[in-house]
């Protein structure tokens, strides 16, 4: 059993497989030399909400920067507040530490982790099944000539000694014409924040310039110590399975279309793939994924489609639609 990619979805697959069927040989192939601390193991926002269904993957200890109790979502002139009770149901993840934590658990259970091992073609792999956990864009889907679904794009900066650091609060500001900005707290010792812009669907503007004007407008100060960005697969990325390959994480289920949250989806989809294979029913994987994710994906994607139409009417029409959605959903985080 080969897993391409040693990150969130790769390790949740390995752990799930080994926990449920220790006799299966599991090899995780990671292209970088170190686990977690590389370009694709990003050092960015990392807002992570823990719901009942994925409480099993709750991060511990050093893998949490802050617990988040409050989210403030600003849409036009309206401010929506969502409060969470103490007890770590929402946090800012230290992703690198969390990935290392998962890697240690997978290794303890008997999975083999091979770093500096870029898989150029899955024909070189000899396991009965392959789990593609290579992220977005997926190198395996590229090899199989399977196109990605809808993607969004982000650009973000991490700032030290920032005047906008509020340890327990995330702030999201929606825009009428493209997507949203966020301000997330990171390392409290450095008074660090992550500031970003996320665009749903196609966008031709300059994200860096837009983020700079947002910073100016909000009077946010701080020293930039990290800049990143990349593609976010918006929602389910069909197919979920191709012959003996199961697609997990960004390669298979993508991120929640409206907020770009993909961490929990990576963990849960890896767990489901592991369970299906461990129980001898890999063919059930696409069905299980559909059962878990389709409903909210349809809502999210229809919402993006609707807003792309409303954009032509004007920003207030988009704000009205966001406000209605948040009212119905009861918050964003």
Ligand X SMILES: Cc1cc2nc3c(=O)[nH]c(=O)nc-3n(C[C@H](O)[C@H](O)[C@H](O)COP(=O)(O)OP(=O)(O)OC[C@H]3O[C@@H](n4cnc5c(N)ncnc54)[C@H](O)[C@@H]3O)c2cc1C
Q: Name the residues that contact ligand X, by CB under 6 A.
A: 4-10, 29-32, 38, 40-42, 44-48, 118-119, 133-135, 139, 154, 156, 228-230, 232, 249-250, 255, 260-263, 266
Residue 320 beta carbon to ligand X: minimum distance, rounded to whole angstroms: 27
First CA to last CA across the chain, in angstroms? 35
- Cβ atoms < 10 Å from Cβ of 163: 12
Minimum CB distance to ligand X smaller for 1 or for 310: 1
Please give the full DSSP string across 296-307, using - where no structure is assigned: HHHHHHHHHHHH
Residue 220 beta carbon to ligand X: minimum distance, rounded to whole angstroms: 18
Minimum CB distance to ligand X smaller for 175 or for 232: 232
Residue 147 beta carbon to ligand X: minimum distance, rounded to whole angstroms: 17
Determine contact, residues 4/119, Cβ cutoff 8 Å. Answer: yes
Give the closest residue to 67 by CA, choosing from 44, 83, 43, 56: 83
Q: Determine the Cα–Cα distance for residues 200 and 153; give it in Å rounded to an integer.
A: 7
Minimum CB distance to ligand X smaller for 18 or for 48: 48
Give the closest residue to 10 by CA, choosing from 126, 146, 114, 127: 114
Residue 17 beta carbon to ligand X: minimum distance, rounded to whole angstroms: 15
Radius of gyration of the chain (CA): 20
Minimum CB distance to ligand X smaller for 251 or for 310: 251
Q: Determine the Cα–Cα distance for residues 43 and 271; give it in Å rounded to an integer.
A: 23
Give the closest residue to 90 by CA, choosing from 114, 109, 71: 71
Whether residue 225 is preceded by a cis peptide bond, meaning omega within 30 degrees of 0, is: no
Give the position of tokens 């290392």.
Answer: 100
Residue 97 beta carbon to ligand X: minimum distance, rounded to whole angstroms: 14
Residue 153 beta carbon to ligand X: minimum distance, rounded to whole angstroms: 8
Residue 128 beta carbon to ligand X: minimum distance, rounded to whole angstroms: 19
Minimum CB distance to ligand X smaller for 24 or for 251: 251
Residue 290 beta carbon to ligand X: minimum distance, rounded to whole angstroms: 18
Determine contact, residues 101/63, Cβ cutoff 8 Å. Answer: yes
Q: Within 13 Å and on the Cβ side, how many CA atoms surround 277?
A: 32
Minimum CB distance to ligand X smaller for 289 or for 310: 289
- Cβ atoms < 10 Å from Cβ of 211: 21
Minimum CB distance to ligand X smaller for 89 or for 321: 89
Minimum CB distance to ligand X smaller for 300 or for 310: 300
Give the position of tokens 């230290």.
Answer: 94
């Amino acid at each position: 059993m080969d897993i391409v990619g040693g990150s969130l979805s790769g390790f949740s697959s390995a752990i799930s497989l080994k926990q449920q069927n220790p006799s299966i040989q599991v090899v995780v192939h990671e292209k970088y030399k170190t686990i977690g601390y590389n370009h694709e193991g990003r050092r960015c926002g990392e807002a992570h909400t823990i719901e009942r269904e994925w409480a099993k993957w709750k991060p511990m200890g050093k893998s949490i920067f802050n617990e988040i109790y409050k989210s403030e979502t600003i849409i036009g002139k309206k401010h929506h507040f969502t409060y969470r009770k103490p007890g770590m149901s929402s946090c800012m993840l230290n992703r690198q530490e969390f990935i290392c934590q998962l890697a240690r658990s997978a290794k303890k259970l008997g999975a083999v982790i091979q770093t500096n091992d870029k898989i150029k073609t899955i024909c070189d792999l000899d396991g009965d099944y392959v789990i593609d956990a290579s992220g977005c864009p997926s190198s395996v889907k590229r090899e199989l000539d399977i196109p990605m679904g809808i993607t969004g794009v982000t650009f973000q900066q991490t700032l030290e000694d920032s005047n906008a650091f509020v340890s327990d609060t995330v702030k999201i500001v929606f825009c009428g014409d493209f997507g949203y900005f966020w301000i997330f707290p990171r390392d409290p010792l450095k008074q660090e924040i992550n500031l970003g812009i996320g665009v749903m669907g196609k966008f031709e503007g300059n994200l860096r310039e837009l983020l700079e004007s947002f910073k100016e407008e909000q009077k946010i100060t701080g020293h930039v110590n990290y800049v990143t960005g990349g593609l976010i697969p918006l929602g389910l990325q069909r197919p979920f399975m191709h012959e003996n390959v199961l697609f997990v994480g960004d390669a298979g289920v993508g991120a929640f279309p409206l907020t770009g949250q993909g961490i929990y989806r990576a963990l849960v989809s890896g767990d489901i793939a592991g369970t299906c294979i461990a129980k001898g029913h890999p063919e059930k994987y696409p069905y299980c994924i559909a059962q878990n994710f389709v409903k909210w994906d349809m809502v999210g994607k229809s919402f993006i489609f609707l807003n792309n139409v409303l954009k032509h009417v004007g920003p207030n029409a988009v704000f009205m639609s966001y406000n209605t959605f948040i009212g119905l959903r009861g918050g964003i985080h």
